[in-house]
Structure 1
């Protein structure tokens, strides 16, 4: 066995009483094993190495090891060293994480299929980034993102989403919430007090903006998207919108309201925050461009890799008005480092190699198939339920038959091991929550191997909770 402590694979704090070195060392090792700090199979340092580290005689450590082997705490073999034995009778750690059994089939909104992550292709981009990154890219990343990555994103967003994206206006962050928080704090520093939010949306996003110091003012959502006329009444300094595919109702912001919101922003000096969370996923071939293209000086466009790659990638981007750049840089300085440079460079390679485009096309085909399956099964069930929302994204609404409450379907689905939520779960206030006969179906969430089963079980739950139809 090597005499190098580092080669043992562990670094462990052991309390030692100088009045009883052997006894206290044995007690410390027993305690480390008992509490789980030393797991079964963990190799311990050689006696010479541990003795030098603790400042005791080698014989003291050797005697302690021999004692603990005899007691069954440790195991040893000549030439192989000493390691923690697998003691079936050892007490469990004093504190364990509480485990909650998760539903087997997930159909919640806003969640992508993590099993579709292109592991091999992403790994190739990571390897290339690590191999080719210049030395200066291995330090702390620039506050707004690596310059090359900002350029690549600007070119991609202009091509794929119609965004007017000067690289100098592109900001890269650790994720959507990170960038939203950064923008929120920048707005507050500039004097903003109120941000309007759609009456249905992500609770996390509302919480992030509130934590940044902004007052939230929910505005109604109807068949044309967010009610832009309501912005005047709430005296908003900014508004957070999901114009391409409202989350979670699934309606796009109408052309007239797109024009209206940019006109409002110009007139009042306010900022439109455009959350383009799933803009790549349209299934009816009618591309809806970014609102940002209508007025780049009053719209901040935000996107993320979480839906097209995986949430674990932890990268997002924003294209902001020029006047916000210095404030965002200062906010980043205060908040700490953004996305690491190697991940950013890997994303740039992934986009430049067209792997990103191929991934989006694969996901688009699969999510379209799931959406069509859900629609077909709902119709075939004869329950009277109807699929609503634009043919886009990773989710849709299902309007339930008259007299059927969303809570009843959610409960029946849970009995079938399916997790789904009612529209009320996404409401910003009680008035919005009054729509209690609609569920949000995140068909993008389940892994491919169980996606069809999850959809079929949900449709069966809807039929079971619905009145019989002759």
Structure 2
């Protein structure tokens, strides 16, 4: 394979030589005369993709170092880097800091979405060949995209410049420099109007919910309104800390405020920018109605902005907090953008709850990890975090498109099947009315495919479906997962009516 020529090992001869005239490269016999004057990265990515499809380059083969190939072509290195990045976003190549850029997928094997099987499938799904697991758990980012080099550089700078006194127990509200940086970032990205005094650094949205529940139960609250369907994890967290969930239905416009008004709760937890798990954005009318409810009743809206950084096909949905800062407690984290393991998030707390909230934070764990806070502040202030988000959005949009197309192919004959909630976030909803989604989840789990049932996030009964995360799987693996879902649906249909 040609890719083997480009090994950087000392025992390997270097076949490619720098073409000082910039007319082309030995690699794939690339001729720069055939390249357009603009869109060179697109042209180069297409040539590599064609070579892989033709079998000229194979799985695991090493591509030339970007600097070397750029020199041979007589182009800037940025053109080659961009071409490799595009191929990486499509899952065709993978890059490692010391292992180079290698072919990770042969697209000819996954170019066509898999078709529904013509007969019941009784053998194990191809998705589990070799004992592999296809995990479509929603809310999990692609952890391979974590900006390790940037994080290490920022952390090294922090440790180099950090006064010893900073290693003491920190402010329970969080490091002031991070809170100030978040004020600016949230103003630009989410339109928030706040101050550093209102921001509390937490270990994630889960801690925000726990601290809020603690403060509210001590103030006499015993119930909290929750979206139905809505996050099972959030509902369980609130119930554990003493707030009984009161379900409020969700429709195509978001939370049904008229039902909220009829209930006993004066606190509501909502995901207005990208409702979990349906993916709908709360309509302007519902937003107005919700804030009027809070003003009229003295109620509190807890705005869970869990994945607002990820959007693809729609304009940004503004946060609720700027319209009613004293009625809305806004919370978010880096769990969906960087990694859940960082345990780093924020809460923007209304003034009348702030002192009690910070006291509860101090009693809970004294303060959030100081080194992680300072490192994240460097990424925010330098613009590196925004660069990372732009890269992740491009990456995830490709994967979303792959899964939507593949699901469309395998569910074409399933009555009522519909893919929704795709404009933003890291998951989508496959609506399957009339299907026992819990049984479907169990059947898929037996085949090594991990998915989430819509019914698990319901309080009251409703149509079934699957909540599918697509962020952590490469495109060819998403095709395999979709094929397994199609097979499981077909098998379930055989058992139900005996006709498929």
| Bin of the TM-score, shorter chain as denominator length | 0.7 to 0.9
Deviation per residue, 1:189-216 (Å, 9 max, x gap):
2332221111222222222222322222
Shift of residue 386, structure 1, vs aligned partner: 1.9
Cα separation, partners in 2 of 1:465 and 1:118, compared to 1, 3 Å: farther
Deviation per residue, 1:77-126 (Å, 9 max, x gap):
xxxxxxxxxxxxxxxxxxxxxxxxx9711112222222222222112222
Shift of residue 373, structure 1, vs aligned partner: 1.1
Which of the residues 373, 393, 409 maps onto 2:440? 409
The aligned counterpart of 1:341 is 370
Which of the residues 420, 435, 440 maps onto 1:388? 420
Shift of residue 170, structure 1, vs aligned partner: 0.6
The answer to whether the 8 Å contact 2:137/2:469 transfers is yes
The aligned counterpart of 1:23 is none
Which of the residues 159, 182, 203 maps onto 2:232? 203
Question: How far apart, in 2, do the equivalents of 1:386 and 1:171 lie?
Answer: 40
Shift of residue 456, structure 1, vs aligned partner: 4.5
Give 3-state SS (helix, strand or coil) of 1:197's partner: strand
Shift of residue 328, structure 1, vs aligned partner: 1.1
Cα separation, partners in 2 of 1:350 and 1:456, compared to 1, 3 Å: farther
- Summarize the alignment of residues 274-353 of structure 1 with structure 2, pairs less than 5 Å apart: 274-353=303-382
The aligned counterpart of 1:442 is 469
The answer to whether the 8 Å contact 1:103/1:419 transfers is no
Shift of residue 449, structure 1, vs aligned partner: 7.7
Shift of residue 463, structure 1, vs aligned partner: 5.2
Question: How far apart, in 2, do the equivalents of 1:165 and 1:449 lie?
Answer: 44
The aligned counterpart of 1:66 is none
Cα separation, partners in 2 of 1:125 and 1:456, compared to 1, 3 Å: farther
The aligned counterpart of 1:222 is 251
Cα separation, partners in 2 of 1:336 and 1:407, compared to 1, 3 Å: closer
Bigger CA radius of gyration: 1
The answer to whether the 8 Å contact 2:169/2:366 transfers is yes
The answer to whether the 8 Å contact 1:193/1:237 transfers is no
Give 3-state SS (helix, strand or coil) of 2:275's partner: coil
2:451 counterpart of 1:420: yes
Deviation per residue, 1:405-443 (Å, 9 max, x gap):
32453244234311112200112x2x2x3323x111111
- Summarize the alignment of residues 111-260 of structure 1 with structure 2, pairs less than 5 Å apart: 111-260=140-289
* Unmatched 5+ stretches in structure 1: 1-101
Shift of residue 354, structure 1, vs aligned partner: 1.4
Deviation per residue, 1:207-226 (Å, 9 max, x gap):
22223222221111111111
The aligned counterpart of 1:11 is none
Over aligned residues, Cα RMSD in angstroms?
Answer: 2.4
Give 3-state SS (helix, strand or coil) of 1:297's partner: coil
The aligned counterpart of 2:395 is 366
Cα separation, partners in 2 of 1:286 and 1:461, compared to 1, 3 Å: farther
TM-score normalised by L of structure 2: 0.69
The aligned counterpart of 2:39 is none
Runs of 4+ aligned residues of structure 1 deviating over 3 Å after TM superposition are 402-405, 445-470
Shift of residue 452, structure 1, vs aligned partner: 4.7
Shift of residue 242, structure 1, vs aligned partner: 0.5
Shift of residue 271, structure 1, vs aligned partner: 0.8
Question: How far apart, in 2, do the equivalents of 1:449 and 1:359 lie?
Answer: 24
Give 3-state SS (helix, strand or coil) of 1:229's partner: helix
